[in-house]
Amino acid sequence: NAGVMQNPRHLVRRRGQEARLRCSPMKGHSHVYWYRQLPEEGLKFMVYLQKENIIDESGMPKERFSAEFPKEGPSILRIQQVVRGDSAAYFCASSPGRGPDTQYFGPGTRLTVL
Amino acid sequence: AQTVTQSQPEMSVQEAETVTLSCTYDTSESDYYLFWYKQPPSRQMILVIRQEAYKQQNATENRFSVNFQKAAKSFSLKISDSQLGDAAMYFCAYRSAWAGSARQLTFGSGTQLTVLP
């Protein structure tokens, strides 16, 4: 009974490199959400996707960040030209898209930018 | 925009005792969901309990229960018979129930709960 899977769990990048974070939703879930948690803070919404569609990216920084959820495969959060301020824990959540639509979270990816 | 406020950055409770964590929220909507998630040292976000705003009955999950006061926009979490494994950061979260509206969760800043042996 696999829950939401995220990989890698830890990612270290140097400034200017690219970071790719992957998320596989729970079985039967078609909605994916990405959140960012800065140190000592709560989670902040970034983007909401369904298969092949970005539904809401109002929380996504305008530059360097992008997300996709292809027809096949995991959702990807991509950060180009990382800076130290991108260091954070990035959480993916999935939901079935119906009813209370409760979101279940993955274990997160901790990104450290050197 | 909706906001969620947790006014207690830290709380502590003696093992086997009861503790209540506070949460207030601000919204102009009448239909929504409220959640409590816990984040233990592993950093995994774990759903504790969910409340539908249209339900008057307070949600209960084993030792966890809520006091939902819709008019006051208050949603507190009560943990009974506290256990060492309850030690974690607890986040209150809000989500609109309207179809087509934003589905993201809005989180409070969290309450760090320490359980004393």
Q: Each residue of B36-69: pLDDT tens digit?
A: 999 998 888 999 999 999 988 999 999 999 999 9
Taking an 8 Å cut-off on Cβ atoms, the answer to whether B105 and A108 are in contact is: no
Distances (CA, A) of B30 to A10, A23, A36, B16, B53: 40, 33, 28, 37, 8
Judged by CB atoms closer than 8 Å, whether chains meet at B108 and A100 is answered as no
pLDDT surpasses 90 at B101: no
Q: How confident is the model at residue A63 (pLDDT cuts 50, 70, 90)?
A: very high
Please, what is the average pLDDT of chain B? 93
For residues B97 and A26, which has the higher predicted lDDT (pLDDT)? Answer: A26
CB contact under 8 A, A56 and B47: no
> At B18, phi and psi to the nearest 5?
-110, 140
Residue A1: its pLDDT value, please? 53
Instruction: Kindly state whether A4 is in contact with chain B, defined as any CB-CB distance less than 8 angstroms.
Output: no
pLDDT at B98: 76
- The answer on pLDDT for A18 being more than 90 is yes
Region B65-94 average pLDDT: 96
pLDDT at B99 over 70: no
Local confidence band at A50 (pLDDT 50, 70, 90 cut-offs): very high
Contact A42 B107 (CB under 8 A): yes
pLDDT of A110: 96
Cα distance between residue B107 and residue A41, in whole Å: 10
Q: Which of B33, B61, B104 to mutate to test the interface with A (most CBs of A within 10 A)?
A: B104
Backbone angles phi, psi at B85, to 5 degrees: -70, -5
Chain A residues with CB under 8 Å of B109 CB are 41-42
- Judged against a pLDDT cut of 80, whether residue A31 lies above it is answered with yes
Question: Taking residues A48-55, what's their average pLDDT?
Answer: 92
Contact A91, A34 (CB under 8 A): yes
pLDDT of residue A12: 98
Whether the pLDDT of residue B100 is over 80: the answer is no
Kindly give, in sequence order, each residue whose CB lies less than 8 Å from that of residue B13, ignoring residues fewer than 6 positions away.
Answer: B19, B79, B82, B113, B114, B115, B116
pLDDT of residue A39: 83
- In chain B, the percentage of residues whose pLDDT exceeds 90 is 81
B35 contact residues in A (CB cutoff 8 A): 102
Say whether the peptide bond before residue B41 is cis (omega within 30 degrees of 0): no
Tell me the average pLDDT of chain A: 93
DSSP notation for chain B: --EEE---SEEEEETTS-EEE--EEE-S-SSEEEEEEEE-TT---EEEEEEETT--SPPEETTEEEEEETTTTEEEEEE-S--GGG-EEEEEEEEE-STTS----EE---EEEEEE-
